[in-house]
Amino acid sequence: MRYNKTLLLLLACSMSLFAQKAKDNTKRDQFISGLMAKMTIDEKIAQTVQYTADGTVTGPKTGINYIDEIKRGNVGSILNATGVKYTRELQKLNLDNSRLKIPLIFGHDVIHGFRTIFPITLGEAASWDLSAVELSARVAAREAAAAGVHWTFAPMVDISRDPRWGRVSEGSGEDTYLGSKMAFARVRGFQGHDLMSTDVILACTKHFAAYGAAEAGRDYNTVDMSERVLRETYLPPFKATVDAGVGSFMTSFNEIAGVPATASKFLLRDILKKEWGFKGFVVTDYTAINELIPHGVARDSAHAGELAMVAGVDMEMVGGIYMKNLKKLLAEKRVTEAQINDACRRVLEAKYDLGLFTDPYRQSSEQREKAELTKKENLDAALMVANKSMVLLKNSNNVLPLRKEQKVAFVGPLVSDEHNIIGSWAATGDRSGFAVSVQEGVNKIVTDKNKVTFDKGVEIVDSRRDMMQAALNNARKADVIVAVMGEFENMTGEAASRTNIDLPGIQKEFLAELKKLGKPVVLVLMNGRPLTLTWENDNMDAILEAWYPGTMGGDAIAQTLYGINNPSGKLPMTFPRNIGQIPLYYNHKNTGRPYLGPSDPEQKYKSRYIDVDNSPLYPFGYGLSYSTFSYSNLKLSSAKMQMNGKLKVSVDVTNTGNYDGEEVIQLYVRDVVGSVTRPVKELKGFKKLLIKKGQKQTVDFELTTEDLKFYNIDMKFVAEPGDFEVFVGGSSDAILKDKFELVK
Ligand code: NOJ
């Protein structure tokens, strides 16, 4: 009885919310229709135009003077302008010159923080902690909004299986399921529940689509894949953001099977706007319409503009083609008025939703900006997320955690670094000494200064050797050596692909010298992609993957090294043994000649290399803790699952070590026989839980038919009856296994 009452109440509430939303939409439609009735075609086209300011440089120069264009009333949006003073000046200039007082929308790449910088996105994904990731996006939104930004070009949700690609640092790794959950959480974080509230910003899902599958990991390179792979592996994170209510989408630079994404009606109109019912607007990536010419699908810029408008691009980033050509294209009937109206309306709707027509400055003030940026609460959140993103890759003989009474020689090019530690795409993050370095973090914990030394030893890439001896001398006197090494921040991100993903420069040579001293050596890594660490794994005693951990990174690393934080991150991307194995990912197909490893009685004529094992160095989902967890008692609620039914999976997880710790419990499923081949396993659930030492927790998952669906032989998205295997554990190597049958 009581249950029914609650249900009725909930129903009534959601109906009234629904009614309210419908009323708001009607109000918005009336406002925009009224406005558009007064707009000339030039004014409508202006809404589809975005130019870059000269605050940040994020692409090639075009020679277009954005100030002149604003004065002519030719601009709907500006990117790369931040700060209350600057954005207010530009907005005022625009309003003074816009006949109908249509506000500008300011966009910026707020990827992993605005001024308070959080770990790079790949690092955040390693936390497997959705509420931490949502909080990170929320803090970034609050800071950006306070600094006059309305719109972020994030989340970047590109799945990638190629660590050579520099932009893996901006995404959530190789897995569709994890990537979709992260994408959803980020949109929620950026946009909050109501875009009208002035401490959230509009999100933009990018890069649509399959940009992460660039051939050979070379940025902007060609992509070719089946529609099945596109839909199953690459598109779900994009769809997840539509479900989360994302307000905008960005096209990608690449082509897919001969069609550049920016000219792809299939992607933009058929899938995004029609099939998924996306109501927001689509912006191109930087000069992506111009690039249709070198791609070889457009004769000239007018043709490029035509292709983009017909495909469903609503706003052009930077290139100036829409402004120059759309009116003429309309006169020549190469684009329709309905297409231009639709693009303009979508942009105006976003501006309306953000409250820009009521207050074009969204209550930004220098006072609010000052109070918000890097306030304590934001720094605390950044530290919390950085701690959660640390992945312990190796820890022989429990060399970690360090003890304060040990004498530790900290060495390496990143030991005192305050520049690289915040990573690439760090918005307005301060690289000049604001971030906490490892040295500073350690000094806060170890008060006896005789116990620690800090030496660079070597640089990241340049091969000077003159600092090495001093570092080795200190290392010789220590109980433990900690080497803090990695990549320059600009070795990852856009246009930063590598063909060699070893530790750069002579860092490895220096590690070999350190190893000769016979002391335990701990390697702490800062990098934006999986590296090839076979030698390091064989020779180092412990390895901590810290990614680029952000403004509070030095504190997080020090707290992890000294056991104040127990590492709980798990890899969102496979670490290969060598570059020749790439692409290497856990949810591969079995092939007709699967190789069972060194114990396989058949070593020839198997799908394998003759010089290295098929297995990765560290698999997806892998990460150690200072504690240990044991898995037992895997149970399924039934040996059969009805079509459209559910199945409960439960497992006992015991913390068998000496530290309280968080563990990411992962559930994988394999469809044994399908009308098309299926991966050897796929992540279908995870939970991150704190389990106290000595305690056991029973963890439940629910599988539904939705989790078992895929594009079958007829490209229908269905679950097929038959046998399924279930694996549960602390990584994609999970060994606890059971099975069930899906029945009609
Ligand atoms: C190019 C990048 O591909 C994209 O991610 C970014 O948002 C834009 N430049 C704007 O800076």
User: Relative to the CA of 252, which ligand 1 atom is closest?
Assistant: 3
Span 461-479, pLDDT tens digits: 999 999 999 999 999 999 9
Mean pLDDT (whole number) for 601-622? 97
Find the 285 Cα to ligand 1 centroid distance in Å. Answer: 6
Which pLDDT score, from 0 to 100, does residue 6 have? 54
Query: Counting atoms of ligand 1 from 1, which one is nearest the CA of 206?
Result: 5
Distance 283 CA to ligand 1 centre (A): 11
Best mutation site among 80, 106, 109, 315 for ligand 1, i.e. most ligand atoms within 8 A of its Cβ? 109
Spatial distance between the Cα atoms of 550 and 420, rounded to a whole number of angstroms: 9
> Which tokens hold the place of 55?
């605050």
Virtual torsion, Cα 690, 691, 692, 694, nearest 10 deg: -170
CB atoms within 10 A of CB 294: 9
Q: Measured in whole angstroms, how far is the alpha carbon of residue 570 from the centre of its chain? A: 15
Q: How many CA atoms lie within 13 A of 96 on its CB side?
A: 10
Residue-averaged pLDDT of the chain: 96
Q: What is the dihedral of CA 435, 436, 438, 443, to 10 degrees?
A: 160
Angle 398-404-407 from CA coordinates, rounded to 5°: 85
Residue found under tokens 């600057």:
86
- Specify the residue with its C-alpha closest to ligand 1, atom 4: 285
> Which residue has its alpha carbon closest to ligand 1 atom 11?
58
Quote helix, strand, coil % in the chain, to nearest 5.
Answer: 35, 20, 45
Q: Find the mean pLDDT for residues 575-604.
A: 97
Return the structure tokens found at 307: 């292709």
Strands 710-711, 640-642: pairing kind: unpaired
**Cα 312 to Cα 506: distance, rounded to the nearest angstrom:** 49
Of these residues, 109, 162, 285, 314, which one is catalytic?
285
Q: Say whether 285 is catalytic.
A: yes
Element spanning 207, H or E = strand 204-208
Residue at token pair 């939703």? 353
- DSSP, residue by residue, 393-437: EEEGGG-PSP-TTS-EEEESTTSS-SSGGG-SS-TT--TTTTSPP
Cβ(494)–Cβ(167) below 8 Å:
yes
> Which is the closest atom of ligand 1 to the Cα of 80?
11
Rounded to an integer, what distance in angstroms lies between the CA atom of residue 217 and that of residue 492? Answer: 12
**163 burial class (0-12, 13-18, 19+ CB within 10 angstroms)?**
buried
Going from the Cα of 330 to the center of ligand 1, the distance in angstroms, rounded, reads: 29
How confident is the model over 416-464, as pLDDT tens digits?
999 999 999 998 999 989 999 999 999 999 999 999 999 999 999 999 9
Residue-wise over 480-493: b if at least 16 C-beta within 10 A, else e?
Answer: bbbbbbbbbbebbb
Pocket of ligand 1 (CB under 6 A): 58-59, 79, 109, 153, 206, 285-286, 494
Residue 363 pairs in a beta bridge with none
User: 379-581 in CATH: which number?
Assistant: 3.40.50.1700
**Ligand 1, atom 7, residue with closest C-alpha:** 153
For 5, the token pair is 């009452």
**Which residue type sits at 529?**
R
Instruction: Give 426 Cα–ligand 1 centroid separation in angstroms.
Output: 13
**407 closest CA partner among 271, 520, 287, 292:** 520
pLDDT tens by residue, 34-59? 999 999 999 999 999 999 998 788 89
Place of tokens 């991966």: 679
- Region 496-519: mean pLDDT is 98
Measured in Å, residue 286 CA sits from the centre of ligand 1 at 6
Single out the residue of 358, 350, 354, 362 nearest to residue 47, CA to CA.
350
Condensed to tens digits (0 to 9), the pLDDT of residues 309-362 reads 999 999 999 999 999 999 999 999 999 999 999 999 999 999 999 999 999 999
Distance in Å, CA 375 to ligand 1 centroid: 27
Pocket test for ligand 1, best of 204, 287, 317 (most atoms within 8 A of CB): 317
Give me the sign of the Cα torsion angle 416, 421, 422, 425. Answer: positive
Considering only CA atoms, which of 719, 723, 692, 716 is closest in space to residue 707? 719
Q: Which helix (H) or strand (E) holds 703?
A: strand 696-704
pLDDT in tens, 9-24: 555 655 666 677 777 8
Homologous superfamily of 629-743 in CATH? Immunoglobulins (2.60.40.10)
Nearest-CA residue for atom 3 of ligand 1: 285
Ligand 1 atom with the shortest distance to the CA of 204 = 7
Give the distance (Å) from ligand 1 centre to CA of residue 317: 9
How far apart CA 422 and CA 112 sit, in angstroms, is 9
5-368 is a CATH 3.20.20.300 domain = yes
First to last CA, the chain: 34
| Domain edges within the chain | 5-368, 379-581, 629-743
- Pocket probe for ligand 1: among 205, 285, 291, the residue whose CB has the most ligand atoms within 8 Å is 285
* Spatial CA neighbour of 729 closest among 663, 658, 679, 671: 663
Pocket test for ligand 1, best of 51, 54, 56, 58 (most atoms within 8 A of CB): 58
In sequence order, the 6+-apart residues with CB closer than 8 A to the CB of 684 are 177, 667, 668, 669, 701, 703, 707
pLDDT in tens, 401-416: 999 999 999 999 999 9
Question: Nearest residue CA, atom 1 of ligand 1?
Answer: 286
Tokens of 391: 């992945």
pLDDT, tens digit (0-9, with 9 covering 90-100), for 243-274: 999 999 999 999 999 999 999 999 999 999 99
* The length of the chain, given as a count of residues: 744
**pLDDT confidence of 192, banded at 50, 70, 90?**
very high
What percentage of the chain reaches a pLDDT higher than 70?
98
Residue 1 pLDDT:
41
Q: Which atom of ligand 1 is nearest to the CA of 153?
A: 7
250 CA distance to ligand 1 middle (Å): 9
- Phi and psi at residue 527, to the nearest 5°: -160, 165
